[in-house]
Structure 1
Amino acid sequence: MNIYEALRASHDTQRQLCEELLSSEPNAQSRKELFKTLKVELEAHAAAEERFLYCPIMMEDAGLSISRHALAEHHEMEELMEELTTNDPTVQGWLTRAKALCEKVNHHLDEEEKAFFQLSGKLLSDKQKNTLAKDYLSDYERLKTKYSS
């Protein structure tokens, strides 16, 4: 498995969780649980991805700009998650903000898969792609456990 295959698996999970969250009933408990699951997934994925894909790509002149852009989008998603975390999912406007988060997530994933993966794929060797996948997956699983508790 290379880094892109590993990342796509999480991307698919993120898309599915967003879809489930946005179609969820306004029951506070079920929405809270879905949001917590999405938040853990996004946080673990972002941290591991930044360490094991963005950092190596930022070391290359050709990858600096696109990495900065991706990091900025991660930050925007973090801010939306923080806002959603501090509010009750049954209050008016919460679902609108959740929709904004999911739109940002889907935009980021699409952009990453269509542009970032192609550019970074040219900058990394096959061996690096495989090593980065192992490191990413290990850190991703560790972070999911950490953020779930």
Structure 2
Amino acid sequence: MSETIFEALRESHATQRSLVRKLQRSEPGPHRVELFTALRIELAAHEAAEERYLYVPMLMDDRGLHSSRDALADHHKMDDLIEEMQTRSHAGRSWTANLAKLSEELHDHLREEEKIFFQLAGKILNDTQKTSLAKKYRKDFAGHEKRLLAE
């Protein structure tokens, strides 16, 4: 059977969890900057592709409106934290406090998405949509990632 949108997203979620964990264990310096950059790029590429290829189809169905809006709001909160962390040195209490907030937001979002949102989406989307959206998500994610790495 072909990959579904949920499998593709879970793979990215695992990468995000791993990067946050490594970032929280890192010491200030070049390695921390590299980890933060990798997380920032992963989140940006994932969010853009996920919003297009999971949230938009879910917004088209009344049953998916509320959950999709909540998930979009979560993305915006994380984007704001990332932006704030980018403007500061990658050290200090304020930066690590924002990292803790980001980790909490991210883990809550991923848990809710995987435990509740994916089940709802599984009822709304048909099998053809699930596999076709996975292909579109992968392509869009790769394109965003490539552009962000080039910046």
TM-score, normalising length: structure 2: 0.96
**1:22 aligns with one of 21, 24, 33:** 24
In 1, distance between residues paired with 2:65 and 2:93?
40
For residue 4 of structure 1, what is the aligned residue in structure 2? 6
- Which residue in 1 is equivalent to 2:104? 103
1:47 and 2:51 correspond: no
**Inter-partner Cα distance in structure 2 for 1:91 and 1:16:** 22
Where 1:87 maps in the other structure, the secondary structure is coil
Could you tell me which residue of structure 2 aligns to residue 145 of structure 1?
146
Give deviations 1:61-89, integer Å, cap 9, x for gaps: 00000000000000000000000011111
Q: For residue 45 of structure 1, what is the amino acid of its counterpart?
A: H
Residue of structure 1 equivalent to 2:74: 73
Which amino acid is the alignment partner of residue 120 of structure 2?
L
Aligned equivalents of 1:98, 1:22: Cα separation in 2: 7
Structure 1 vs Structure 2 CA RMSD: 0.7
Of all paired residues, the percent bearing the same amino acid is 49
Deviation at 1:127, TM superposition (A): 0.4
TM-score, length basis structure 1:
0.97
| SS class of match (2:27) | coil
Q: Which consecutive segments of 4 or more residues in structure 1 shift more than 6 A?
A: none
What do the CA deviations read for 1:27-80 (whole angstroms, capped 9, x no partner)? 2x1111100000000000000000000000000000000000000000000000
d(CA) in 2 for partners of 1:18, 1:61: 34
